[in-house]
Copies of this chain bind each other. A is one copy, B any other.
């Protein structure tokens, strides 16, 4: 992104190009969103506010699964199938682990050969910088851009690292957990809580000599989920088998997602969840910004240093120190711009 390209109408022009389905402009806009430069962030905000009226008209699907369950192959087959139905699919990734490794999932498109060159499919790897919370926020904004562009199916992929699954659950309508045949949660490398947040569990690799084991695994999980609260009000979590490699079970999965969309839209749960997700997003940002305003203020920083010393020396109890700093913040902001 060259600075000279950023003129007064930059956001307006970019918005127009995105609405006219220019993929290069979409990629540029996502790069702006992912940028940490204040100037870029300002344009990104302007762009998002221009595009928000055109967003929201998609089904947002989260897909998670441990390494080895065939996630890439599944997404390849699933998106290929959806494209055949005339749908337009954006695939985004959230991978907090890439922060450290500098790698990122979805980076290797060679593992998605069916869709790699499909004009109806857009693939964007995980941002490689930032906290998982920060990555989630940027993914939320990227979803809005993709919807404004015209993608009607958003897939958010995540590996089950740290809190990424729970984060993805807070930004999608439907959550799909991919497993492989055999073993319990531990053998599957499943974190506690993964099953609880799923709307659909897919036992992948149900082909060849694995076919029977996949059925056994499916039945075991079907039994298990009866003891759990459903992830979505009014929707009973389903368990099915599939083979992404043999392309079996894929259409059934899509039928289930459509059934879910229809039911939750009729009951109002769909809209209610999106509203709640937006409000949660708002409040998380608000808290972060408030803390930044306070803790990054140089005068507060100085006070904190001196109080830290007093606490270390046992001259003041932390509760008293906390009250004094807040008092200072209030009085200070009366006299000076912070």
Scan A286-303; emit 1 where CB is below 8 A from any B CB, else 0. 110111011000000000
Residues of B within 8 A of A286 (CB): 322, 325-326
Judge if A281 is at the interface, Cβ distance under 8 Å.
Answer: yes
Question: Is the C-beta of A49 less than 8 angstroms from some C-beta in chain B?
Answer: yes
- A321–B289 Cα distance when bound, in Å, is 11
CA distance A55 to B48 in the complex (A): 55
User: B326 contacts A330, CB within 8 Å?
Assistant: no
Q: Enumerate chain B residues within 8 angstroms of A45, measured Cβ to Cβ.
A: 317, 319-320, 323
Closest partner residue, chain B, to A137 (CB atom): B319
**Contacting pair A282 B321 (CB below 8 A):** yes
A5 at the interface (CB under 8 A from B): no
Whether, in the assembled complex, A338 has its beta carbon less than 8 Å from a beta carbon of chain B, the answer is: yes
Which stretch from A161-169, A224-232, A308-316 is at the chain B interface?
A: A308-316
User: In this assembly, does A334 line the interface, its C-beta being within 8 Å of a C-beta of chain B?
Assistant: yes
CA distance A195 to B52 in the complex (A): 49
Whether A291 contacts B282 by the Cβ 8 Å rule is no
Q: How far is the CA of A49 from the CA of B325 in the complex (A)?
A: 16
Measured between beta carbons, the chain B residues less than 8 angstroms from A49 are 316-317, 320
CB neighbours of A137 from chain B (8 A): 319
A330–B320 touching, CB < 8 Å: no
Q: Which residue of B lies closest to A319 (CB)?
A: B285
Size category of the A interface is 35 or more
CB of A326, distance to nearest CB on chain B (Å)? 5
Contacts of A7 in B (CB 8 A): none
Give bound CA distance, A325 to B287, whole Å: 11
A185 within 8 A of B: no
Which residue from B48, B316, B323, B330 sits with its C-beta under 8 Å from A319? B48
- Are A293 and B141 closer than 8 Å at their CB atoms? no
Chain A positions 137-152 with a Cβ under 8 Å from a chain B Cβ:
137, 140-141, 144
A95: min CB distance to chain B, Å: 22
Complex alpha-carbon distance, A32 and B316, angstroms:
19
The interface residues of chain B lying within 8 Å CB-to-CB of A320 are 45, 48-49
**Cβ B322 vs Cβ A330 within 8 A:** no
The contact of A294 among B56, B140, B290, B318, by CB within 8 Å, is: B290
Q: Does A275 contact B (CB under 8 A)?
A: yes
Docked-complex contact A282 and B308, CB < 8 angstroms: yes
What 4 A-B pairs have minimum CB-CB distances, sorted nearest first?
A: A282-B318, A285-B322, A333-B333, A281-B318
**Interface pairs (17), CB distance under 8 Å:** A49-B320, A52-B315, A52-B316, A56-B314, A275-B312, A278-B312, A279-B312, A289-B323, A290-B290, A290-B291, A290-B326, A293-B329, A293-B330, A330-B333, A330-B337, A333-B333, A333-B338
Given contacts A285-B319, A293-B330, 8 further A-B contacts (CB under 8 A): A48-B319, A279-B312, A282-B321, A285-B322, A287-B291, A290-B291, A290-B329, A333-B338
